[in-house]
């Protein structure tokens, strides 16, 4: 399986980079996993709703340039479906079994993802009703992907 994490923004703190790298290292035994980043847009704290959409669209265009057309696209969005770890593992396993072994996850910036990207996604995934910083969300996603492979392989770790 080939997994791409397509994310807006760079990891700024060393501890996020170290956490990301640890999970990427662990995942090597199960899949080819890559993280690709695009530049996040700067905007004023008092950004208006029209400007919010413009920011999301500019970030979205950058993300779209990284999407492989053959990839099964999963967008992280608070309005997406929440899954338990076992369900998420089952979804990844099913994708691999049905020939969809190229999977891309997209993580938006602090304002979220553009409507165009959300409508293009094959699946909308939510980890919580809470809003998380996109740097933390990247590490959470990688951990859950790793956990999924452990579940699929029936290896200890999950509990």
Binding-site residue positions for S-adenosyl-L-methionine: 76, 108
- Binding-site entries: 76, 108
Question: Which of these, 44, 56, 32, 22, lies nearest to 139 by C-alpha position?
Answer: 22
Handedness of CA 28, 30, 34, 40 (dihedral sign): negative
What's phi and psi for 105, nearest 5 deg?
-105, 135
Alpha carbon distance 114, 133 (integer Å) = 17
Cβ neighbours of 57 (radius 10 Å)? 15
Alpha carbon distance 37, 62 (integer Å) = 9
Three-class DSSP category at 31: coil
């Amino acid at each position: 399986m080939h997994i791409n994490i397509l994310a807006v923004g760079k990891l700024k703190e060393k501890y996020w980079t170290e956490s990301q790298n640890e999970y990427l290292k662990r995942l090597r035994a199960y899949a080819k996993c890559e993280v690709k980043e695009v530049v996040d847009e700067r905007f004023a704290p008092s950004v208006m709703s029209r400007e919010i959409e413009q920011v999301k669209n500019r970030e979205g265009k950058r993300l779209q340039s990284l999407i492989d057309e053959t990839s099964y696209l999963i967008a992280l969005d608070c309005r997406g479906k929440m899954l338990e770890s076992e369900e998420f593992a089952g979804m990844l396993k099913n994708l691999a079994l049905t020939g969809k072994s190229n999977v891309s996850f997209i993580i938006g910036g602090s304002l979220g993802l553009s409507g165009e990207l959300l409508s293009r996604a094959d699946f909308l995934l939510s980890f919580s009703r809470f809003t998380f910083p996109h740097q933390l969300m990247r590490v959470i996603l990688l951990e859950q992907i790793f956990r999924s492979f452990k579940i699929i392989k029936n290896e200890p770790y999950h509990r």
